[in-house]
Amino acid sequence: MSVQQCDFFVVIRQDEDGGYIGEVPQLGDCYGQGRTVEELMVSVREAIAQSLEQESVTPAKMRVNGTAYAVNGHGP
């Protein structure tokens, strides 16, 4: 059995409360959130898995690349 690997990029923004919100543009309506970047990435991985499950695609291994962008002068 071959291992399918998918790479996803995550756009990370810091919200007004100091937490983080991440979006996976390749999957459309796929978001996660967390108090820290580490919590955010766990949430994003879960959201990606749910999104892929809905599309009947279940990769055995996922690699998520976090990419941070400053928004309104505030960056992670």
pTM of the model: 0.68
pLDDT in tens, 12-69: 999 999 999 999 998 888 999 999 999 999 999 999 988 888 766 545 455 555 554 4
C-alpha 46/C-alpha 30 separation (Å) is 10
15 and 71 Cβ atoms separated by less than 8 Å: no
Give how far Cα 29 sits from Cα of 9, 17, 18, 25, 48, Å: 14, 22, 23, 8, 10
What's 17's DSSP letter?
T
